[in-house]
Structure 1
Amino acid sequence: MRNYLLTLACLLSVAASVHAEVETEVVVGDLANPTGVAVDIDTGDVYVAESAAGRIVRIEEGKPVDVVTGFSLDKYGMDPTYDIGPLGLTFLDQNHIVVSGGGKPDGEDFVGIYEFGQQSTADKPVQLLGPLVAEGEIKGEGNFYGVAVVKLDNVDWIITTSNGDDEKGWLAAAEKDKSNFKPLTRYIATKEATKVDAPAAITISPRQEAVVGQMGEISTPGDSLLTFYDVKEKALLMSLPTGLSDIVGLAYSPKTGRLYAVDFSWHDPSQGGLFRIDAVRVDGKQAAKATKIIDLMKPTALAFAKDGTLYITEFGEGEKGGRVLKIQPGL
């Protein structure tokens, strides 16, 4: 455990200074509840899940261009509620993008793999993963918020968070077998492991662990956890309080190795923002310290480009108040 803690400290990064002059640039505005963002590592193209518009878009010259359209819409949250469709996205390879969804009833939501070289529709994935239907006393699962791809022993895995009605709060996973992926399955019951509800954000650490933001109750401030899982062993490695309220996005900087999070802060959006999460010791034990970098209005996701440029999606205010922001390399 001691060696793991030392490594974890490196992954979170120990940094003392706050970035004093971080400026944001609006890449595109007037979006309907954008919830996911991914950057093509080869081209630098930015893709966005415009959730309430039921589509995936690519940003071209400051405008959204359709990539995958026709996703169903559902409602999420309480006081207020929001229209949601596709939620998260990530790249599988040079030709395919993975989209996790929340626009259907629990037990019907799915994760889709799409070829993004040409425009497609939600009902024509290259491969459909899920849904996770009811099994005995286990309810049908949905709201696949975050999604990530990890390679373990030269085998690709797709892992998604799921925080629908089932009280267990699942990580669901699918392992690649030859040219296709095996069925999506309930993999780790995160609420049983952490005693906190609603897994949302997910990223992959440099050590290939699944790093998950356990959002907690949207009405409870400061209850979000940062958790680390061994994917192959289905094991919780560490769970750390952060003091953040609703972690919905996580990403490691490719240049500095530092871990960043966005906090939606449902109960009080004025407290939302971009945070750096550093490793610290409290009473001799490993802990995580969240330092706010900038204020944001209901941020929902973040992704780094290869050169360290950071892209962030915001819900913003109003039906078409969503934006994609850009921060220059340096974080």
Structure 2
Amino acid sequence: MLSATVLPAQDAKKPNAQMGPRPVAQNLDNPSGIAVHGETGHIFVAEHRGVLRLFKQEEKKGYSRKMQVARYPSDVYGKGPMYDIGPLGVALLGTDHLVVGDGSRPDGEELVRVYEIAVEAPEKPTPEKKAAFTLGPITAGDASAKGEGNYYGVAVTKDAIFATANGDDTKGWIVRAKLNNGKPGKLEPFIATKEAVSVDAPCAITVNAAGDLVVGQMGEISVPGDSLVCVYDPSTGKLKKSYETGLSDIVGLAYSPNGKLYAVDFSWIDTSKGALYELTMDGDKCSARKIVDLDKPTSLAFDTNGTLLVTVFGTAEEGSDKKPGKVLRIGKGMLK
């Protein structure tokens, strides 16, 4: 294994009220994945009930919302705190297809589905089963003792769809479906990350400027500070680099338009320590600079203006019947 050392996390500067995170969408039920359309700027959010589509209102500030994909089953995830989950990860395939990683079924039954999307938000949502392409399931067998599921992170390159999976914990699979003329092939286990780095649970996944897969290895949720960031060749699956980060549970990774890498740490063992970080790799070392504390952050993406959007589970207000999940906007000024 190619390993690297970690530098201590630096504390965040206290943001002023004008710079602090602002809600773009509220009343969300455990949002866990986010993707932004590069042409329309529409925001796709996976949450317990389905996939939402957020788009700017024409006559006033703020965003409207429509359900893009609905009618998912429901499952539960967690140790200690337990959370209702449905679809988990989302990514765009070209301009007219949305890839959705499933978490709503038992391991061995979960799927990665690809849906056609129009330029405008739909009047009625697409039923979950009415996908253009259904990938999987990966059932129990030689490659996976229990079968695969909880496709938390999704990334798309010109050659393939990749998803992180949390089925067989002894393997820690990243799964892959190759693309042929834009159409996905069979979903198959590709990289056994646990065997490569001896740390559990790949969750976050993105692609760097060189085209490599950059993966957040969450680690054990009961162990603080064990998360890794690993770099893999997308063609061969070979581990190119592994960095210790000092963070506890990296569940989201994204590159800014100027090439900086950001991560969100859910911090299962102490969710009061959830936060957004800037990660900097220098040779064999990784340093983590805290940007802002967040209430159970789960995913992140940059919009077409270079503004960072982060999903959070949040904490329910006492006496409120609203769901605590949000999409937060974090301005460029906070990231400096």
Q: Which residue of 2 aligns with 1:12?
A: none
Matching of residue 56 in structure 1 with residue 63 in structure 2:
no
**TM-score, structure 1 normalization:** 0.88
Could you tell me whether the CA contact under 8 Å between 2:30 and 2:312 is conserved in 1? yes
Post-superposition Cα deviations, 1:64-118, rounded to whole Å, max 9, x if no partner, equal: 3110001111111111111111000011011111000111010000100001224
Q: Which residue of 1 aligns with 2:7?
A: none
Sort the Cα spacing of 1:233 and 1:79 in 2 relative to 1 into closer, same or farther, 3 A: same
1:146 to 148, 153, 160: 153
Could you tell me whether the CA contact under 8 Å between 1:102 and 1:143 is conserved in 2? yes
Moved more, 214-223 or 62-71: 62-71
Q: Which residue of 2 aligns with 1:196?
A: 199
Q: Which residue of 1 aligns with 2:59?
A: none
Q: Which residue of 2 aligns with 1:29?
A: 26
Post-superposition Cα deviations, 1:34-80, rounded to whole Å, max 9, x if no partner, equal: 00111111111111101x22x10112443431100011111111111
Q: Which residue of 1 aligns with 2:138?
A: 132
- What is the CA-CA distance between 1:320 and the residue it aligns to? 1.1
Could you tell me whether the CA contact under 8 Å between 1:307 and 1:329 is conserved in 2? no
Q: Distance in 2 between matches of 1:239 and 1:77?
A: 26
2:233 to 207, 222, 230: 230
Q: Which residue of 2 aligns with 1:106?
A: 107
Q: Distance in 2 between matches of 1:204 and 1:137?
A: 25
Sort the Cα spacing of 1:107 and 1:17 in 2 relative to 1 into closer, same or farther, 3 A: closer
Q: Which residue of 2 aligns with 1:315?
A: 313
* C-alpha RMSD of the superposition: 2.1
Moved more, 258-267 or 156-165: 156-165
Sort the Cα spacing of 1:259 and 1:274 in 2 relative to 1 into closer, same or farther, 3 A: same
- What is the CA-CA distance between 1:165 and the residue it aligns to? 3.9
The AA in structure 2 aligned to 1:40 is H
Q: Distance in 1 between matches of 2:305 and 2:212?
A: 23
**TM-score, structure 2 normalization:** 0.87
Unpaired runs of 5+ residues, structure 1, are 9-15
Matching of residue 41 in structure 1 with residue 41 in structure 2:
no
Q: Which residue of 2 aligns with 1:171?
A: 174
Could you tell me whether the CA contact under 8 Å between 1:146 and 1:160 is conserved in 2? yes
Residue-pair matches, total: 308
Paired residue secondary structure (1:267): helix
Q: Which residue of 1 aligns with 2:58?
A: none
Q: Distance in 2 between matches of 1:203 and 1:246?
A: 16
Q: Distance in 1 between matches of 2:217 and 2:143?
A: 23
Sort the Cα spacing of 1:38 and 1:19 in 2 relative to 1 into closer, same or farther, 3 A: farther
The AA in structure 2 aligned to 1:311 is L
